[in-house]
């Protein structure tokens, strides 16, 4: 699929408002056209009413435009399968509001976490978490359809977020406004490759959420490809969710093989999103843009 936009998920909310135009200008000077609205930006839009007008003005004066977003997440309070009953109604309303702002600013997809908080802290069964996710999507999908945005549920690295769990919900609803966000870093973390992978090297939270019984996931791309509408692109060691620059020294993602497959085998693909932790690793905007320009040639 040719001409799939690349959007950069850079944490604009980490900067003072007066610095945002300069950051967008830096992206523009390095050839970037699109930015992804982050969870932090959406929270500010939802909870700080004056922020919307300020952000809208900034984008009006920039050649870099929003194209995608990462929906609300964090602390389990926005998970589709959250089991804290007093919070569930608020979670649904918050997600609906954020979806409206995302659409207003031009996002085509709305990435969501099914949720994994209970994998770490409670003994909630997968069956119960599925019931709760279905209950949430039954309320959110009609809203997404009305807005014309696609909810993209993301594969992660916990039992409740495996590729098979993503497929369960996509098949259950068979809805045009429900698709998958393929998180390449998470897929790599859960794969059996590289050959001879040593389970003892996994970061501690992996063993915690899997109760010391990690089940690695094979053929994730093949399973999800027909439903992928957007991707989170970042690299890691295959033992930790690093969110590093694709192709960095210790990264194990085979980008030369994967990128052509994403472009050619995902009929619903709308965008590719960089999800690199630039601030954490001191990666410049120039280096980020150069790397993703290269990926786009593969």
User: pTM to 2 decimals?
Assistant: 0.97
Distance of CA 269 to the CA centre of its chain: 14
Rounded Cα–Cα distance for residues 38 and 244 (Å): 17
Rounded Cα–Cα distance for residues 205 and 159 (Å): 12
* Phi then psi dihedrals of residue 136, to 5 deg: -70, -45
Q: What are 232's strand-pairing partners?
A: 183, 273
Question: By three-state DSSP, how is residue 180 classified?
Answer: strand
Question: By three-state DSSP, how is residue 187 classified?
Answer: helix
pLDDT digits (tens, 9 = 90+) for 219-232: 999 999 999 999 99
Q: What token pair was written down for 42?
A: 């959406």
Q: What token pair was written down for 273?
A: 């999103």
Any idea which residue has 């135009």 for tokens? 21
Q: What token pair was written down for 291?
A: 């790397």
Instruction: Dump strand ranges (E) for 53-138.
Output: 65-70, 109-112
pLDDT digits (tens, 9 = 90+) for 238-294: 999 999 999 999 999 999 999 999 999 999 999 999 999 999 999 999 999 999 999
Rounded Cα–Cα distance for residues 156 and 167 (Å): 13
pLDDT digits (tens, 9 = 90+) for 123-179: 999 999 999 999 999 999 999 999 999 999 999 999 999 999 999 999 999 999 999
Burial zone of 11 (CB within 10 Å; 0-12 exposed, 13-18 middle, 19+ buried): middle
Residue 1 has pLDDT above 60, yes or no: no
Per-residue pLDDT band for 2 (boundaries 50, 70, 90) equals: low
Who contacts 125 (Cβ-Cβ below 8 Å, separation ≥6)? none
Domains of the chain and CATH, by start: 6-295 (3.20.20.150)
Rounded Cα–Cα distance for residues 261 and 263 (Å): 5
């Amino acid at each position: 699929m040719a001409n799939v936009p690349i959007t950069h998920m850079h944490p604009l909310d980490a900067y003072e408002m007066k610095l945002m135009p300069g950051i967008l200008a830096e992206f523009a000077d390095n050839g970037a056209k699109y930015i992804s609205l982050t969870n932090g930006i959406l929270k500010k839009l939802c909870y700080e009413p004056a922020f919307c007008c300020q952000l809208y003005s900034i984008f009006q004066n920039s050649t870099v435009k929003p194209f995608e977003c990462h929906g609300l997440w964090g602390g389990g309070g926005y998970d589709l399968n959250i089991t804290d009953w007093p919070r569930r109604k608020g979670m649904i309303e918050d997600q609906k509001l954020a979806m409206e702002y995302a659409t207003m600013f031009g996002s085509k997809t709305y990435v969501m976490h099914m949720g994994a908080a209970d994998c770490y802290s409670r003994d909630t069964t997968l069956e119960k978490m599925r019931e709760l996710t279905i209950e949430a999507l039954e309320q959110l999908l009609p809203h997404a359809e009305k807005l014309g945005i696609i909810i993209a549920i993301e594969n992660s690295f916990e039992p409740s977020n495996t590729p098979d769990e993503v497929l369960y919900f996509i098949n259950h609803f068979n809805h045009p406004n429900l698709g998958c966000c393929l998180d390449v870093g998470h897929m790599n973390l859960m794969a059996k490759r590289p050959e001879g992978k040593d389970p003892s090297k996994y970061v501690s939270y992996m063993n915690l959420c899997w109760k010391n019984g990690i089940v690695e996931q094979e053929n994730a791309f093949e399973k999800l490809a027909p439903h992928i509408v957007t991707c989170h692109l970042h690299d890691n060691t295959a033992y930790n969710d690093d969110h590093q620059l694709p192709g960095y020294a210790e990264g194990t993602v085979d980008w030369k093989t994967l990128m052509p497959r994403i472009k050619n085998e995902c009929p619903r693909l709308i965008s590719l999103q960089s999800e690199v932790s630039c601030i954490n690793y001191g990666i410049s905007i120039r280096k980020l843009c150069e790397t993703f320009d290269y990926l786009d040639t593969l």
